[in-house]
Amino acid sequence: MIRTQHLVGLAASILLATLGPLAAQQPEANLAARLMEDLMWNRGPIGGPFALVDHTGKARTDEDFRGKLLLIYFGYSYCPDVCPTDLQQIGLAVGRLGIAGEAVQPLFITLDPERDTATHLADYVTLFHPRLIGLTGSAEQIRRVALAYKVYYAKYPPGSADYVVDHTSFIYLLDENGKYIGFFPPGTTADRMIEIIKLDLRFRSKN
Ligand code: NI
């Protein structure tokens, strides 16, 4: 049976109702709800600097990507359903943008650094787009960047070697200065992302 591994509710109440296993763990569920609320109501700073390692083993910081619109997705390569679906749409969007797509850099930040080593990510990211960059790091580095983006994630079942990672799965859009613009909800199609990115690129070229 495939469990619902992504927190896609539109309000804290929906979130708590759909969390299933996490609902039994009240503090965890509260944290998930609070992070999601902060993101949805645009509360507090979203995003920030990071220092990680890419899927080729190269050290990368957020500053390396200045000058590009960033599409950032948090997930993990063993995710059975939502991550691959969203990453596929991100890859299609960047591809279908053609030349304009060169202004967009897609990033995949793992929430499972123990299993998603750089080498492992190298095999994974190429499935979605040749320019998709996979990023990993220490557990602490990942925790820091995830919290900066209000990403909730937790291993389930806790303590198991064969775990899944429950996680929120929004697609973040950042401007060429690394400033957070907004998010696409999970399940956003490539065509919808393209419409919005094109509007954004057009707006930027006029200003
Ligand atoms: Ni996932």
Residue 3 resides in a domain: no
- Give 75 Cα–ligand 1 centroid separation in angstroms: 5
154 CA distance to ligand 1 middle (Å): 11
Residue 169 Cα to ligand 1 middle (Å) = 7
Per-residue pLDDT of the chain (207 residues; tens, 9 = 90+): 344 444 443 333 334 444 445 445 677 888 889 999 999 888 889 999 999 999 999 999 999 999 999 999 999 999 998 999 999 999 999 999 999 899 999 999 999 999 999 999 999 999 999 999 999 999 999 999 999 999 999 999 988 889 999 999 999 999 999 999 999 999 999 999 999 999 888 767 665
**SS3 category, 42:** coil
Domain assignment of residue 194, yes or no = yes
Find out whether 48 and 141 touch, Cβ atoms under 8 Å. Answer: no
Which residues, in sequence order, are CB contacts of 167 under 8 Å at separation 6+?
5, 6, 7, 74, 75, 76, 111, 151, 152, 153, 154
Give the CATH number, domain containing residue 123. Answer: 3.40.30.10
**All residues with CB under 5 Å from ion ligand 1:** 75, 79, 82-83
Span from the CA of 86 to the centroid of ligand 1 (angstroms):
9
Domain extent for 117: 12-206
Number of domains in the chain: 1
Peptide bond into 84 cis (omega under 30): no
Residue 144 lies in a domain: yes
Q: Is residue 7 part of a domain?
A: no
Let me know if residue 135 belongs to a domain: yes
